Amino acid sequence: MSDLRAAIIPVTPFQQNCTLLWSDETKKGAVIDPGGDLDRIREAIAQNGVTVEKILLTHGHIDHAGAAAELKDELGVSIEGPHEADRFLLDQLPETGRGYGIANARAVTPDRWLRDGDQVTIGDLTLDVLHCPGHSPGSVAFVAPTLHFAIVGDVLFKGSIGRTDLPGGDGAALIRSIRDKLLPLGDEVAFICGHGPTSTIGAERRTNPFLQGGER
Ligand SMILES: [Zn+2]
Ligand SMILES: [Zn+2]
């Protein structure tokens, strides 16, 4: 498998980590969570000479999905993810956008809903899909196990976890998702999260205050 490259593009007033992910060999890639600021996403695509094949969504929140429909139309690519449990969030994006002062957010209908155990491809790269409900009911993580790399959306952060006070949030489900799906990926797995700096599963297992105590 060829080298995986990633460029993080903070977008929207929420400084969401939109990620351009591509294969260095084929230059084929995907845009993950284009929440807004399409001019900056376009610039990163051009700078790195990436041919975008698809858009991936970790979940349906405005800062992750607000510009997905527009980018899809512009690039003529499909949208894969999140899990269908986030359909209500994607349907409501125009109203949610107005509530946050974000104009022009469009509702999103993915071309493919994802389920736990599915795989998505980007050029010659294959990512495993993990359904990780809790922050939102349809949140998914994308994992390249052999490359020890993951994109986890707003499920897990460096030193924190996703908020669960938004519609469909569930604190117990979030902890289960992290303990049962993400921690077993292994300490060496590095991940990009939806906001803030990157981390590794091992660092969070050892030091994340939300994951200490309990059965592990
Ligand atoms: Zn979110
Ligand atoms: Zn977010």
How far apart are the CA of 55 and the centre of ligand 2, in A?
A: 16
Locus of tokens 């908020």: 163
pLDDT tens for 117-151 read 999 999 889 999 999 999 999 999 999 999 999 99
Structural domains of the chain, with CATH: 4-211 (3.60.15.10)
How far apart are the CA of 95 and the centre of ligand 2, in A?
A: 17
Cα 203 from Cα 86, distance rounded (Å): 29
How far apart are the CA of 194 and the centre of ligand 2, in A?
A: 5
- State the ligand closest to the CA atom of 193: 2
Cα 4 from Cα 13, distance rounded (Å): 28
How far apart are the CA of 25 and the centre of ligand 1, in A?
A: 32
**Residues by chain with Cβ below 5 Å of ion ligand 2:** 16, 63, 154, 194
How far apart are the CA of 51 and the centre of ligand 1, in A?
A: 27
- State the ligand closest to the CA atom of 163: 1
Cα 42 from Cα 22, distance rounded (Å): 14
The pLDDT assigned to 216 comes to 46
How far apart are the CA of 132 and the centre of ligand 2, in A?
A: 14
pLDDT tens for 51-91 read 999 999 999 999 999 999 999 999 999 999 999 999 999 99
Virtual CA dihedral for 107, 19, 14, 143, nearest 10 degrees? 90
> The whole model's pTM is what?
0.97
Q: Which two tokens stand for residue 53?
A: 């094949």
How far apart are the CA of 26 and the centre of ligand 1, in A?
A: 31
